[in-house]
Structure formats: structure tokens, C-alpha cells
Amino acid sequence: MRVEILGCSGGIGGNGMRTTSLLIDGDILIDAGTGVGDLSLERLAAIDHVFITHAHLDHIACLPLMVDSVGEMRTSPITMYATAETLEIIRKHIFNWLIWPDFSVIPTPEQPFLRFATIEVGQAVTIGDRSITPLPATHTVPAVGFHLQDLSSGASLAFSGDTSICAPLWDAVNAIGDLRYLIIEAAFANRERELALLSKHLCPSLLLDELTKLRSRPEVLVTHAKPSQLQQIAAEITAGDGAHRPRMLAPGAVLEF
């Protein structure tokens, strides 16, 4: 599997600051943040599947625009996968004819530009020789992470999505064999620890505590830093103790496994 990091910031502001989106093998998106907007029309039209961790705007901002831009270029609908709770939020508040047209019924209900598919934690979706399994997460809205697995090799990547302290996440991650990469968030610097807890995010001190629960030794990559706190978060991650030695994830990075 080839994972291209289109966006890994907790906000925008130039210098490659794009919000969360991972492109898998050119045809699968994990989240649809502002990084999707840098893709050409041809690359956008090649995306068949979009898996959404949760309904916050920084993770779905480009989804309505992408569907509108390339729907007529495709011969089949784009499929958006999310939990029932997240699907309800997105349908009610985005594809509602007030914020954006409901592309699940246009141009016709029989041949729409977008279709919705419900997923559940622990239940894998298989697309070719790739498996995508929702992982538990703890956030201010219903949320999941994802386990990506290449079924031909068994190698895996885990992505936390937006989460705070979450024991079930570590139970699930520790059950993954041949885990090559763990992408996990640290949205705030340590000075904002209380805000991180209130908003159900992590900061470096919380992240390093959480990583003591990780039994395998994947490469740990840190995402979702607030742009104004990026340098401080990176410094606190580097200075932290622990066996895993996480490093900041960079936009444009490509992970292969």
C-alpha cells in the first residue's frame, strides 16, 4: 500500500499547512481535509472511496467540493464510509440542500454522484487486496481511527484520527501484527494540556504517556498539530522520554508497506 500525506495539520496558514487527508494507492481517501484541494481534477476523479473518521470540518472540508467537481467525470458514485452517527451528522448538516446539495440523490437517485456506506468499529471493509478497519477513538463527537492492512503482505498502518486518552484504541492496536506505522495526533503544546483534555485531543505529555501502552515498535508519526504551536509541539515531542521516539509527520510524505 502507498499512503500519500495530503494534509496533516490541525489548521491552515500557508507553508504546506493542510488539514487531514491520506490518499491510499490513488483511489482511497482517509478523511477529506483541505489537502485534497491540491489534487488535480484527474486525480480527484480517480478516488472511488472516502473513509471519514468524524464529522469535524477539518476532516471533511473538501468532500462536498470534490463530489461536485468530479461527479460528472465518473461513471459510478463515490462511496463515503462512516459510522452511522457520523453519517447522520454529515447528511443532516452538509448534504442538506442548505449548506450543499444532496449528491446522494442527484443527478438522479438511481445514478447519484455520492453514496453512503455504514461502517462499525472492528468490522473490516475489503477493497481488492486492502483491508480498512475502524478503530476505537475518544473525541467530542463520534469518531474512529483506521487500521490499513495490505492483505498480500500482512503489513499494516494504524491511524488514530482525532482522539484523547482511549484504552480500547491500544487494545486494538496491540492486536495488529506487523504494524509498520502508527500515525497519532498531538494537537496542542503541553502548555495547553487542560484544553487538550477538554477538547479530547492529545498534547506531547499525554501522547508520550499513551505510547507506554504500545507493545510493538512501529514508526510513530505525530499529526494534527495546531499551526501556531507546531514548533513547540515538535520540540516537546523530540525532548520526550520513551522507547518509541515519535517524530512529526510531514505533508507530502509517502509511506509504503
Question: Does pTM surpass 0.95?
Answer: yes
Residue 38 in any domain: the answer is yes
pLDDT in tens, 117-166: 999 999 999 999 999 999 999 999 999 999 999 999 999 999 999 999 99
Rg over alpha carbons for the chain, rounded to the nearest Å, is: 18
Residue 175 in any domain: the answer is no
Q: Measuring CA to CA, which residue among 48, 31, 141 is closest to residue 89?
A: 141
The total domain count for the chain is 1
Joined together, the cell numbers standing for residue 255 give 509511506
Residue 43 in any domain: the answer is yes
Residue 35 in any domain: the answer is yes
Residue 137 in any domain: the answer is no
> For residue 194, what are the contacts with CB-CB under 8 A and spacing of at least 6?
none
Residue 57 in any domain: the answer is yes
Residue 257 in any domain: the answer is no
Residue 231 in any domain: the answer is no
Joined together, the cell numbers standing for residue 256 give 509504503
Distances (CA, A) of 68 to 6, 38, 77, 107, 212: 20, 16, 11, 11, 44
pLDDT in tens, 182-218: 999 999 999 999 999 999 999 999 999 999 999 999 9
Specify the pairing of strand 21-24 against strand 2-7.
Answer: antiparallel
